[in-house]
Amino acid sequence: MQDLTPRVFVTQPIPEGALARLRALGQVEINPDPLHMVTKPELSAALQRNEFLVCLLHDRVDAEVIEGSPRLKAIASMAITPAGVDVAAATARRIPVTTIPPLVTEATADLHWALLLAVARRVVEADQGLRAGLFPGSQSVYYVGGEVHGKTLGIVGLGRVGEAVLRRARGFGMRILYTKRQRLEPEREAALGAEFRPLDALLAESDFVSVHVALVPETVHLIGARELGLMRPSAYLVNTARGPIVDEQALVAALERKQIAGAALDVFEHEPRVAPGLVALPNVVLTPHIGSAARDTRERIAGIVADNVAAVIDGRRPPNLYNLEIYA
């Protein structure tokens, strides 16, 4: 007799509550190592055994994987936009691709501020020095960094995360500049307490440049050598959006020449690889794309992914469907 138990493959550990829900729906196979990103051969092999895929932002589910997985019935991504999934290939086979709503705004804004403060006040350098036995004195100039309160924050891309960062900037008494494709209405600018600037002017005036634009062809290397050259020598660049928005090699060169004071990055141009030049620099704070890595946020994300999988197993249209046309 044919076994009709739904089989789900999860590419890395997710919160236990969501896993328990998936196990109640069927049989779950999971890569248990949070440090191991499944390889393409591993993913293809797993999809020979499983019909439902739960994948993370960093996973690559390309056309070859999809076309070579005849059992595949749904791809449930933990991303807002399934950039790593070949949606066209899935749609061609009428496989639903599901995503999550924009739940990561506040968690990402929190991390953005952690990075901004850390690079300005040289927190990582001071922590490492103290652990190595270095205590230069409470009023030594050794770890002097940049001021934050009262300085000018330039927001590149005033979307959900940009606005969340802006709200936090008010608590630091900062002057706030922004740039985006379409300027806000004067009433909205006044309510936010933000002044519009074209990108070049924003770069020249800001003490901190915060990157929040979406990654589209037009924003690849939006911040390159020319743009970095417009920034102040005392300014800092912070990017928690997407890596390719910043030209990493140009950034390394600008930092090595002390063209800008420092940078803080949670995203990288060729993830998971990080430009070696960045790793070697003391005036850079680096985190491995952990913007959404807050416990409550991750639990909400995983719960929504379980909802999506459950809907497909039950024969229902999933609530967060990305390729709507397959149900047309």
Residues with catalytic function? 242, 271, 289
List all residues 6 or more positions away from 297 whose beta carbon is below 8 Å from its beta carbon. 103, 104, 106, 107
Place of tokens 């997710």: 14
Alpha carbons 188 and 209: distance in angstroms, whole number: 21
> DSSP for 51-81?
SEEEE-TT--B-HHHHHT-TT--EEEESSSS
Alpha carbons 196 and 182: distance in angstroms, whole number: 10
Backbone angles phi, psi at 74, to 5 degrees: -165, 145
Q: Cα 177 from chain centroid?
A: 22
List all residues 6 or more positions away from 288 whose beta carbon is below 8 Å from its beta carbon. 266, 272
Alpha carbons 271 and 161: distance in angstroms, whole number: 21
